[in-house]
Structure 1
Amino acid sequence: MIFYDCSTAPSPRRARMFIAEKGLEIETREISMVKGEQLSPEFLAVNPGATIPVLVTDSGQMLNENIGIAAYLEAMCPEPPLMGTTPDEKGAILNWNAISEFQGGHSIAEALRNGNPHMKGRALPGPNDFEQIPELAKRGMQRVHLYFDKLNTQLEGREFVASDTFSLADITSFVFVDFARVLKVRVEDTHPHLKRWYETIKARPSAQL
């Protein structure tokens, strides 16, 4: 297998944490988004969608979505389970993974890509250019704060986001909460349950990578 990573971006960090939690060693190739390497002919030959992460399996299949990468690795290496073992766990983990993607990840991307002058003309990832929409930046910031509120409520009296054990939902939620710093949004004492959980996940070895 070959894992295409970018050490500065949140999406590949999710896959990187999942791989580390599984204890897997996979050949890794760094793609610098700062240098625009995701748009190079060499990388486009791997993933025409120009997004990272990418996992190329031993059979040559190209997976370029975090949920696909996670499902593949979970099936290949079931222990430790990160996507649940019972119907209730599996449903809850994927449910909260989707919540964190849409309400967390999408809102951060909305605010960053439409509000950062350095991303002018690059309002969406991928090979095509899209102009920024300032109103989406404002909406994105509002949605980020609502997402923090939602997670704080969910984590009251809970150690993990979706189940009794660490899971994919914690990885996705942690990465987006941490990445919100690019918008100068950080976990504060106003969200005590979120802060307790955040500090716990931040201390895991996989979060240091």
Structure 2
Amino acid sequence: MKLFTWGIAPNPRRVEIFLAEKEIQIPVEEVGVPGKAFLKPEFLESHAHRRVPLLQLDDGSYIGEAMAICRYFETLHPEPPLMGTSPQEIAQIEMWERLAELDGMQAIAEFYRNSKGSFADRSLPGYSNSLQQIPALIERGKARLEQFYLKFDAQLAANEYVAGEKFTVADITSLCVIDFAAFSELGIPEECSNLQRWYHVVSERPSLKK
């Protein structure tokens, strides 16, 4: 078993934090080009998925996409539960994790991949053909991210963590969104005090220190 990852990217980081929370250790291969904003050509040529994270199983098969990989390990190692146990809890966590990905991760991706020159012909990941940037998506991405901050700040006004009173994958995805947004100088607005409180708490977890 081996996890293909890229240290600077938010989606692989979601899996790495998840594994650290469960204290699962597996071999990891970094496939990003050092100092560059793209994956190694040999990885792209040999893996049709063309994205990370990518988990290679012992039988040679692959599982792609962060939450699919997390679900695989949650099934194998249910403790501590990060994706819920009761039907309602599972649904609530999945809902908020999905909202973090749709409203947050996609928003910052729109901004970042359409504003940086290094992605001039690679505005979407996973494609072998050229995909040009769309300048209008820069401002739309920023606007979407602002709404993400407001929505999650309101949710955290009544909850210790994103999906309730326990740390879950919804918190992991939200944290990775915010850290990547901060890298792009689009961090949490000062007025989002609930989100600020939550961020300072989860940033101190041991899984974030590894």
Shorter-chain TM-score bucket reads over 0.9
**Partner residue in 1 for 2:165:** 164
Deviations along 1:1-49, one digit per CA (max 9) or x if unpaired, are: 101111111000000000101100100111115546635134532x312
Moved over 2 A (4+): 33-39, 41-44, 58-61
User: Which residues of 2 match residues 4-15 of structure 1 at below 5 A?
Assistant: 4-15=4-15
Match of 1:63 in 2: 63
Distance 1:99 1:37 in 2: 27
36 and 134 in structure 1: CA distance in 2 versus 1, 3 angstrom threshold: closer
Query: CA 1:37–1:185 in structure 2 vs 1: closer, same or farther (change >3 Å)?
Result: closer
TM-score by length of 2: 0.93
For residue 50 of structure 1, what is the aligned residue in structure 2?
A: 50
Instruction: Indicate whether 1:174 and 2:172 are aligned.
Output: no
| Counterpart residue number, 1:29 | 29
1:115 aligns with 2:115: yes
Structure 1: distance between partners of 2:60 and 2:45: 15
How many residues align structurally? 208
Alignment of 1:181-200 (within 5 A): 181-200=182-201
**SS of corresponding position for 1:55:** strand
Alpha-carbon RMSD across the aligned residues, in angstroms, is 1.5
Q: Measure how far apart 1:179 and its partner are.
A: 0.8
Amino-acid identity (%): 36
Measure, in 2, the Cα distance between the counterparts of 1:160 and 1:171: 10
Match of 1:38, SS state, is: coil
Q: Is the 8 A contact 2:31 2:43 kept in 1?
A: no
The one-letter code matched in structure 1 to 2:90 is K
Q: Which amino acid aligns with 2:153?
A: N
Contact preservation (8 Å) 2:121, 2:133? yes
Distance across 2 between alignment mates of 1:76 and 1:128? 37
Moved more, 31-40 or 127-136: 31-40
Which residue of structure 1 aligns with residue 105 of structure 2?
A: 105
Structure 2 unmatched ranges of 5 or more: none
**TM-score normalized by the length of structure 1:** 0.94
Distance 1:35 1:92, change over 3 A: same
The secondary structure found in structure 2 opposite 1:80 is: coil
Gaps of 5+ in 1: none
In structure 2, the CA distance between the partners of 1:161 and 1:36, relative to structure 1 (3 Å rule), is closer
